[in-house]
Amino acid sequence: MASKASRWADDGEDAALEAQRKKEKEEKKRLKAEKARKLEAEKQAREAAAEAAEAEAASQQQDTDSANGPPSKRRKVSPERATSNGAANSSRLLRFEGGTFTKSRSVENYDKLNDIEEGAYGWVSRARELSTGKVVALKRLKIDPKDRGGLPVTGLREIQILKDCDHRNIVKLREVVVGDDTSKIENIFLVLEFLEHDLKSILEDMPQPFLASEVKTLLLQLASGLSYLHDSYILHRDLKTSNLLLSNRGVLKIADFGMARYVSIPPPPKLTQLVVTLWYRAPELLLGSSRYTSAIDMWSLGCVFGELLTREPLLQGKNEVDELAKIFELCGIPTEESWPGFRRLPNARGLRLPPSAGGGAAAGSIIRAKFPLLTLAGVSLLSSLLALDPERRPTAKEVLDHEYFRQDPKPKSEAMFPTFPSKAGQERTRRRETPNAPGRGEKLADLGQIDFSGIFAGREMEERGGGFSLRMV
């Protein structure tokens, strides 16, 4: 067993152990003599001594193993260390646990119960783990065998990011399993924790909107999950109500990381603009920015906020141009003042805007008029999230500290959250009415020369009429 591998295999350790035992005995004897002097520190000292002995033993082991030998420095220091045991207290080393790696298990460890939904990137079903009886959600990766790019990058990124995340408001990936035939890996399933609802179907079915206190709880949880993601350099890039899950205990979790990716700060120069479902897409994306930041998620958060209040998606554009028109209608027309530099974005060059009447000042008031039941602080939060200029949107952390959440009514405790009949738990699949996030490799919408002055022509006339001036109050 003189091979290289033996150094970290058993025999090396055995020899080291034996040497260590001998050392330990010596150390103990010596320590006994010192016992009177160091009664209190004795236990720690012994541990530290054992550590030192171990290191010594190891270095001796390596001495015999290798012609190079360890640097002599280590041996020189070690006796000093044994005598200075009193101070050994400080050398508690941090252990980094990264886990291990091993083959994926088979999907046969799970018993499928019912389908939950079929999305753009695969289907999801409810299943039970045979050995534990735990109910989970199985999400199957859509794999196109004709795709010569191999396994889909989006799915692989989703796996990687979910594996790295550990937060109560982010759905947990328990493992990844594969079909039984492992000679060809064609069926890949993500085993996710199961939550009874998604916000979208709850909103569609509930007779009354959420109470203000409930909206606050949901929003706080969403912002807390988002703050974790952004702190970990992850952009979600597809936040929308159908991707937010809710448990029967009122816990919200962010799901579906098919669009997510790691980014650096400052952001890398060429991010794809083909992200985020149209209705939740930030104006800088629509205008073709490829150097966007976490502010795009904050915009989506604003859209979700609005949707929680009204049960209706806030900005339901029919296409990119219509979406922009709806955004400008709600948030005002961008000016050099309200959004410095927006003219330099690729799709903004051909943009013809009406002379801004009111601009940023009017924006807040339109939002105010649209949500008459929202408090002043609520309006200020919502309109800051829906700021056209990404720089002016608050970060997720700032949202968590916002005045809105400190005002009455206070956020409702999660335990007090109402329960809803679960669609996912029943034998019914969710319907999807929101459009899907754009697919990879789709053609970028070239907004080209768009004349927005025409779209707003009507509104300009409106402004002159009585209806619009009422809104201005």
Partner 1 sequence: MSHMTNPLATPDQLYQRRALGSLPIELQDAIFFSTQCLTQAAGILLQLPQSVTAQANVILARYLLVEPIMAYEFSELSAASLFLVAKMGPSPRAPRDISNVYAYLLSSSSSFFRPPSSPPPVNDPSAYYRSDTSYQAFHTRVLAIEARIFYALGFDTHVSLPHPIAITYLQALDFLNVRKEKIAKRTLEYLNTALLSPQMLYCTSQPNALAVAAIYNAAKDVGAKMPECEWWEVFDVDREELGFLVVGMRSVEGWAKKMREDLPKMAQGMIKRRDVEEELARMGAATALGGEEDAEAEMARRMDQRMEEMETS
Residues 175-204 that bind partner 1 (CB under 8 A): 175-176, 178, 182, 184-186, 188
**Cβ atoms < 10 Å from Cβ of 70:** 15
Site membership for partner 1, residue 156 (CB under 8 A): yes
Report the residue number, 187 or 436, with the smaller CB distance to partner 1. 187
Which residue in the set 36, 40, 96, 132 belongs to the binding site for partner 1 (CB under 8 A)?
A: 96
At how many degrees (to 10) do helices 376-385 and 295-310 cross?
140
Site membership for partner 1, residue 70 (CB under 8 A): yes
Which residue in the set 37, 43, 103, 146 belongs to the binding site for partner 1 (CB under 8 A)?
A: 103
Which residue in the set 17, 130, 153, 376 belongs to the binding site for partner 1 (CB under 8 A)?
A: 153
**What is the nearest approach in angstroms of partner 1 to the Cβ of residue 166?**
9
Site membership for partner 1, residue 93 (CB under 8 A): yes
**What is the nearest approach in angstroms of partner 1 to the Cβ of residue 205?**
35
Among the residue ranges 38-46, 89-97, 194-202, 396-404, the one whose residues contact partner 1 (CB under 8 A) = 89-97
**Sheet with 110-119: strands ordered across:** 105-106, 173-178, 188-193, 135-140, 122-129, 110-119
Site membership for partner 1, residue 11 (CB under 8 A): yes
Report the residue number, 13 or 398, with the smaller CB distance to partner 1. 13
Can you tell me the distance from the alpha carbon of 164 to that of 47, in angstroms, rounded to the nearest whole number? 34
Site membership for partner 1, residue 403 (CB under 8 A): no
**What is the nearest approach in angstroms of partner 1 to the Cβ of residue 100?**
5
Angle at 285 between CA 280 and CA 288, to 5 degrees: 150
Among the residue ranges 100-108, 354-362, 365-373, 464-472, the one whose residues contact partner 1 (CB under 8 A) = 100-108
The single-letter DSSP state of residue 208 is: S
C-beta separation of 385 from 329 below 8 A: no
Alpha-carbon 265 to chain mean position: 16
Amino acid at 345: L
Residue 191 backbone dihedrals phi, psi, to 5 degrees: -95, 105
Report the residue number, 7 or 142, with the smaller CB distance to partner 1. 7
Site membership for partner 1, residue 8 (CB under 8 A): yes
Residue with tokens 């939060």: 381
Site membership for partner 1, residue 44 (CB under 8 A): no
Q: Which residues pair with 135 in a beta bridge?
A: 128
CB neighbour list of residue 94: distance below 8 Å, 6 or more residues apart: none
Report the residue number, 201 or 273, with the smaller CB distance to partner 1. 273
Which residue in the set 44, 78, 290, 380 belongs to the binding site for partner 1 (CB under 8 A)?
A: 78
Report the residue number, 186 or 451, with the smaller CB distance to partner 1. 186
Q: Distance of CA 78 to CAs 51, 75, 269, 289, 362, Å?
A: 10, 5, 51, 59, 73
Report the residue number, 98 or 266, with the smaller CB distance to partner 1. 98
Q: Distance of CA 125 to CAs 110, 117, 245, 430, Å?
A: 11, 7, 14, 11
Site membership for partner 1, residue 39 (CB under 8 A): no
Closest by Cα among 153, 144, 154 to 186: 144
- One character per residue 259-298, x = contact with partner 1 (rule: CB under 8 A): ---------x------------------------------
Can you tell me the distance from the alpha carbon of 335 to that of 338, in angstroms, rounded to the nearest whole number? 5
**What is the nearest approach in angstroms of partner 1 to the Cβ of residue 129?**
16
Closest by Cα among 399, 397, 375 to 387: 399
Q: Which residues of 227-245 are buried (b: 16+ CB within 10 A; e: fewer)?
A: bbbbeeebbbbbbbbbbbb
**Catalytic machinery residues:** 238
Residues 374-393 that bind partner 1 (CB under 8 A): none
Report the residue number, 178 or 301, with the smaller CB distance to partner 1. 178
Closest by Cα among 102, 226, 234 to 164: 234
Binding site for partner 1 (CB under 8 A): 1, 3-5, 7-11, 51-52, 54-55, 58-59, 62, 65-71, 73-74, 77-78, 81, 91, 93-104, 148-151, 153, 156-157, 159-160, 163-164, 175-176, 178, 182, 184-186, 188, 268
